[in-house]
Structure 1
Amino acid sequence: MMSGPQAIAASEAILEGERFQPEHGTHGMVSTSHQLASEVARKVLAEGGNAVDAAVTAGFALAVTQPRSGNIGGGGFMLISDDAHDKVIAIDYRETAPSAAYRTMFQDDDGNVVEERSRFSANASGVPGTVAGLALALDHYGTYSLAKALAPAITLAEDGFIVPKRFSDGLIEARERLTKWPESTKTFYKPDGSAYQAGERFIQPELAATLKRIAAHGPEEFYTGKTADYLIDTIQAHGGMMTKDDLANYTPKVRTPVHGTYRGYDVYSMSPPSSGGVHIIQILNMLEGDDIGAMGLNSAATIHVMSEAMKRAYADRSKYLGDSDFVDVPLKALTSKDYAKTLRAEFDLAHPTPSSDIGPGPVQRYESNETTHFSVADDSGLAVSNTYTLNFSYGSGLTVAGAGFLLNNEMDDFSSKPGVPNAYGLIGGEANAIEPNKRMLSSMSPTIVKKDGKNFLVTGSPGGSRIITTTLQVIMNVIDHDMNIQSAVSAPRIHDQWLPEELRIEQGISPDTVRLLEAMGHNVVTKPAMGASESILIEDGQFQGGADPRRATSSAMGL
């Protein structure tokens, strides 16, 4: 049924089990980065659909209302927790490198990385996975048809929607990058070249036609039909290497999520090619022996040990993480509590360890990538945590002519040259080198925390390299600091990724705390807000939604 047309068949054995048939009028909560997506997802729950139905509907709605990050031209990860059947599964619909890709494709003749090639060219795009991934989830865990889940998105594209200020500001900021492509100029700007202003209606007829074709013919239309023709014609017209065979052969993967424990809670998160889940569990393991609650939220002592743990995790990321279908990722070692104890023993509680003194750890002895996130949960015990992306805001900036959607620039998430930082300053190694059909490493970390076997916290975030630390802090804020979900999502954040040598903070961290950290030797740098965690907390059968105020359009809605 699916695209590649083999996708569902390849996953049948893994996803065997009953479909959910919820009672009419399911209760639950949705939290997304756009009010219109939250509204249509909430309506799905109100009409008796389950959390997966609502999540897929929201995902397609965001592809219309939030084109800078919602997408059908990108990819992502979905975690589904099914209390009724005691299982948690991970759907990997990350993009793949085209079959003609090669490790030095973004280097010049002297071996230097040419950033423009991996970020803003037709070869910056990996083979998109969103349509196949969302359809797979719906087919196995939803009760809606794909056409029904697509209907609200089609209406929003065909009839248009009133744009908020954030939408208008984004197009103004991205004008230079987007208008270098005639297809993007036509799609996102008025005939006179001006940007749509807040309060004006934005209509996307070509995208509406694309979504209608997918609704009528299924996901394979995107990968082998008219939409596929539009996509490949556009890429090849601009010198890209992706082919129709690359699209036809795309298959989402069903994976086992990484699993750890923290203070008696079970933490499930995305497995490779995400590095996020591995390192969230690794950092929690390093911090579990400290009384973080007593040390205090965003105190100098707490931030210091968090920084030390983060640096060591990101150092390990630089060497060990990649697509586990291509490289041997030492998951057991990296998520081992014993390994975490050896790393924790290295911490100097009075001074930060210089990044130059930290490198990837000796894991062998312990072996026995502008994004959007949304969360949905219902009272049948089904929860969905989904993060998907185009990579940069508006991806490569290239719109598929005739189809009305932007393409990703995920190829930049590979190590264009091992040891050279990517756009987020992340160092990559051989494990994440470019190879044909390989999935590029990602920081996306959709996460579900369970308490006593039941869904407790559904969370995740956009934010590039800061996704991992943003998601980590929401978990810690709830478990260590006993915060309600809105407070946990809203609290100021910190981030340390080993290199560059800086402890990044948001506004809102006390100046006294900053002085203490600087006196210890930290290079503290205040930068713009990090992440946008759309989260849900479930306690005693009650749903709490936390919409991140860092995005003005964020919205949590329940019933």
Structure 2
Amino acid sequence: MKVKICEKHRLRVLILSFVLCFSSLVSSSDVPIIDSNSRFHPVFGSLGMVVSQEQVASEIGAAILTKGGNAIDAAVATGFALAVTLPRAGNLGGGGFMVIHLADSKDTITIDYREMAPIAATTEMFLDESGEVDNKKARYSIYSSGVPGTVAGLLYAHEKFGSLSLAEVITPAIDLAKNGIEVSIDLSSSLATRRARLMKDDGSRAYFYKKNGDSYLPGEVLKQNDLAETLKRIKSYGRPGFYQGLTADLIVKEMAESGGLITHSDLKNYRVVERNPVCGSYHDKRVCAMPPPSSGGVHLIQMLNMLENFELQQLGHNSAAYIHALVEVMRRAYADRSAYLGDPDYYDVPVERIIDKEYAKELVSKISLTKSSDSSNVLPGLGIDIESLSKKRQYRESEETTHFSVWDSFGNVVSNTTTLNFSYGSGISVSGGGFLLNNEMDDFSSKPGAPNGFGLLGGTANEIEPGKRPLSSMTPTIVFDQKGSPILTTGSPGGSTIITIVLQIILNVLEFDMGIAEASSVPRIHHQWFPDRLYLESGISEDTKSVLKTIGHKISPRTRIMGSTQSIQKGPNNFLFGKSDPRRQGAGEAVQK
């Protein structure tokens, strides 16, 4: 039964009722995806499209489409290009998730190329003598790196679903690294911001700063010769060109010099896993996303299930009542995330129970329309025994992942999110290899109840074990219409905010009939159970904030942008409309010529 707005609530909370009087009840069939009167405009094309956080990478992907490649070819080319143009997140030394829809078979599959814990990893490896988490060791040391999966994942996708040769899709990235990239304002700024950390490592200092130690200025050229040579070895030998041979030797040497854990055996035995997506329905649409070890798909579906029980259009977009509903739903989903999510190869994740619509109704029945919940009173809801979780934690948002979306003229769609975890990962580069190592081991629960670098809590389901993949918030997603045809693909960086960002993109499009440009640009909100704080982007009115405070929400004084969505929407006559999030510099869309 849907939660409706009744006279009793208007009488009890007059100021809240004022907000609820405004509605948005326009039929989606009456709203064009592109509107000349709007302040927000997408890029559009009739063939294929690539949308990423780097314009150069998007153009490389689109050129592959123009050459006759499919969406998977273009995605692989874009992924390798981002390893050159966006070193803080694009990578060879990290991992990620890919969701693919294949037009011919109508199959939707996912590729899990998340990093794996080295065989020598132990549950208590990041605990100090007093039993507390040593955050420096977990985040910035050689021990923080999991076995990289990006190269294996991209090559797996290309070998199984691509149509062009590997040389054709990887050569543009080699040329970029060898000939150099023009340093953007964004790259120059990010390297300056992380200078103190990166300069501590010999490899990172050599790769990202001038010989005299100066930073690169916007407009100058950054050449990455060692990275070009690593890419050449991948071009020549495929997977063995990275996980065996010289590149593997360089990785293991880097580990050995600092007492790290990754061995030749770890690299050779790295596994890509093809998994079924986690899918659910939202009204008459179907949403498919990444399953565990991503927490994104499960809790995206869970939140959509809960929100089906609200009249969201009647509440009005970003009204106090709408934000209240979203916060209460987010609060409950993140409570479940803390307890039940982990690597499904090691832990029996109760996916079907979490995404059950009856369970969603049960959770919604505990939500008050007129009063905020106290997170300390909201516990994981399945009744499964879990260890007590610490509540006093600080939140930190990540900006360090990157997402790209690809759609080809055949109807194939790729949604891919990849990361090093923190910006520039561990800060440690493989000397002679030209690439950074991840610090994904921090995404495990080093101690039940202790937070990772983004403030997220976790229990034993996500504890460190040899060969295990850490839990992630990455949420590459594809949305389908009633006939099973894709209509939207999206994803974002943002650490713990990723799931709620993707949720809001979907709601903006499906509930409020926004075109993808507007859906990507309007203000966002976030809540993650603990800390019990509501985060708002600028643009939410002071009146709305006042109402939210009146009903008990604790609003963070910090205002900060959330995410960098890269989305493509299919419109009438199969036209494609793409939008790179305006929140980040350098992002861009490119269309097939």
TM-score interval, smaller chain: over 0.9
For residues 83 and 353 of structure 1, the distance between their equivalents in structure 2, rounded to whole angstroms, comes to 44
Q: Residues 209-245 of structure 1: CA distance to partner in whole angstroms, max 9, x if unpaired? A: 0000110111121101110100110122111111110
Residue 379 of structure 1 deviates from its aligned partner by 2.2
- In 1, the alpha carbon distance for the partners of 2:94 and 2:542 equals 40
* Post-superposition offset of 1:529: 0.5
Q: Deviations over 1:97-148 (max 9, x none)?
A: 0001001000011101000011000010000000000011111111122221
1:196-211 correspondence runs (5 A)? 196-211=216-231
Q: How does 1:259-278 map to 2 (within 5 A)?
A: 259-278=279-298
Check whether the contact 1:26–1:46 (CA below 8 A) recurs between aligned residues. no
- Partner residue, 2:561: 529
Out of 139, 143, 160, the residue aligned to residue 123 of structure 1 is 143
Per-residue CA deviation, residues 411-458 of structure 1 (Å, 9 max, x unaligned), is 000001010111111000000000000000000000000112101100
Q: Distance in 1 between matches of 2:327 and 2:516?
A: 23
Read off the aligned partner of 2:187 and give its amino acid letter. Answer: F
Match of 1:187 in 2: 207
Cα RMSD (Å) of the superposition? 1.2
2: CA distance, partners of 1:27 / 1:236: 49
* 1:296 correspondence with 2:328: no
1:544 aligns with 2:580: no
Q: 1:231 aligns with which of 251, 261, 272?
A: 251
One-letter code aligned to 1:87:
D
2:201 partner amino acid: W
- How far the C-alpha of 1:527 sits from its partner, in A, is 2.6
Counterpart of 2:174 in 1: which secondary structure?
helix
Aligned-partner Cα distance in 2 for 1:294–1:543 = 29
CA contact (8 A) 1:50 1:142 kept: yes
Q: Secondary structure at the match of 2:415?
A: strand
Aligned to 1:82: 102
How far apart are residue 294 of structure 1 and its match? 2.2
Aligned-partner Cα distance in 2 for 1:217–1:72: 15
What pairs up with 1:122-161 in 2 under 5 angstroms?
A: 122-161=142-181
Q: Is the 8 A contact 2:116 2:147 kept in 1?
A: yes
**Structure 1 residue aligned with 2:417, among 382, 387, 399?**
387
Quick one: distance in 1 between partners of 2:490 and 2:173?
Answer: 24
Aligned partner of 1:65 in structure 2 is 85
TM-score normalized by structure 2? 0.89
Partner of 1:376: 406
Residues 222 and 228 in structure 1, CA contact (< 8 A), matched pair in contact too? yes
Given the alignment of the two structures, is residue 400 of structure 1 paired with residue 433 of structure 2, yes or no? no
Q: Select which of 416, 419, 426 maps to 2:446.
A: 416
CA contact (8 A) 1:26 1:49 kept: no
With over 3 angstroms needed to count, the CA separation of the structure-2 counterparts of 1:363 and 1:253, relative to structure 1, is: farther
Partner of 1:465: 496
1:489 aligns with 2:520: yes
| Deviation for aligned residue 1:289 | 1.6
The amino acid that maps onto 1:502 is: R
Between the aligned residues of both structures, percent identity stands at 52
Q: Quick one: distance in 2 between partners of 1:356 and 1:323?
A: 27
- Give the Cα–Cα distance (whole angstroms) in 2 for the partners of residues 235 and 511 of structure 1: 52
Tell me how far apart the structure 1 counterparts of residues 245 and 170 of structure 2 sit (CA, whole Å).
18
**Matching residue's letter, 2:314:** A
**514, 517, 537: which is aligned to 1:506?**
537
| SS of the residue 2:544 aligns to | helix
How far, CA to CA, are the matches of 1:144 and 1:48 in structure 2? 8
Which one is further off, 263-272 or 137-146?
A: 137-146
Tell me the distance in 2 between the aligned counterparts of 1:289 and 1:382. 32
CA contact (8 A) 2:47 2:575 kept: no
Asked whether the equivalents of residues 89 and 420 of structure 2 are also in contact (C-alpha less than 8 Å), the reply is yes
**Contact (CA 8 Å) 2:492, 2:566: kept in 1 or not?**
yes
Task: Give, as a single letter, the amino acid of the residue that structure 2 aligns with 1:558.
Answer: V
Q: Deviations over 1:252-299 (max 9, x none)?
A: 000001000001110000000000000000000000121212211111
AA paired with 1:58?
T
Tell me, yes or no, if the aligned pair for 1:77 and 1:91 is still in contact at 8 Å. Answer: yes
3-state SS of 1:482 partner: coil
Q: Would the aligned equivalents of 2:49 and 2:408 in 1 still touch at CA under 8 Å? A: yes
Deviation at 1:363, TM superposition (A): 5.7
Per-residue deviation, residues 307-343 of structure 1 (Å, max 9, x unmatched): 0000100000011000000000000000100000000
TM-score normalised by structure 1 residue count = 0.94
Which 4+ stretches in 1 moved above 2 angstroms? none
State the number of aligned residues: 532
Instruction: Tell me which residue corresponds to 2:589.
Output: 556
**Aligned partner letter, 2:520:** V
